[in-house]
Amino acid sequence: MLHILRDPSRFVILARIDFDLAEETRKKGCPYCGGPLHHAGYLRKPRFHKELDPVFRRRHSLCCGREGCRRRVLPPSLIYLGRRVYLGVLVVLLTALSQGLTPRRRRRVCGVLGVDLRTLERWRRWWREEFPQTPFWRSVRGIFLPPLDEKILPAPLVAHFSPSTPQKLVQLMQFLAFP
């Protein structure tokens, strides 16, 4: 799994899908007033690789063109999980990978990938405590048979999708992008 995280070019397809999702959202119009949506993407400074492809630095965002509304619409993203500044793939895979590691090995992996141990612990806590309580997870957890052990998420979720190929990785991120 670590080889996927070391080579972000393996998930460039996620950027293409993000663009398509933004286009689909734009074509639907403003969900608040029905007005036209315009691209209003903004730069992100994702923490991960120093030589990260610029395509990962832009978060697609849309802005209503109707005077008086002008609200922003954030389309789903396979690259980012919500407001996190780390790539979603890193948040999911590193958290899953770290669950079976000794503290020494966890420090080493975090050092290689440039993630602070406190950040990793925050992610682990979010997956264990907050994610299982989300309406999204409550509505979909029943599709997994046998049921996934929520105390060690996201490892069972990653194992279910087994993201060793780009297609499986896309499926995992698509699943998580539509809560």
Chunk the chain into consecutive blocks of 10 residues (it has 179) and report each block's average pLDDT, rounded to whole numbers: 62 85 96 95 67 71 94 89 77 88 89 87 94 94 94 93 80 84
**Residue 88, pLDDT score:** 84
Query: What does DSSP say about strands 58-59 and 42-43: parallel, antiparallel, or unpaired?
Result: antiparallel
**Residue 99, pLDDT score:** 85
Q: Which amino acid is located at 73 in the chain?
A: V
pTM of the model: 0.80
Number of DSSP helices (H) and strands (E) in the chain, helices first = 8, 5
Bridge partners, 43 (sequence order): 58
**Residue 100, pLDDT score:** 81
- Token representation of residue 25: 């959202």
**Residue 89, pLDDT score:** 83
**Residue 53, pLDDT score:** 65
Helix (H) or strand (E) holding 27: helix 12-28
**Residue 80, pLDDT score:** 82
**Residue 10, pLDDT score:** 65
**Residue 46, pLDDT score:** 64
Vertex 168: Cα angle to 105 and 128 (nearest 5): 50
Alpha-carbon 80 to chain mean position: 4
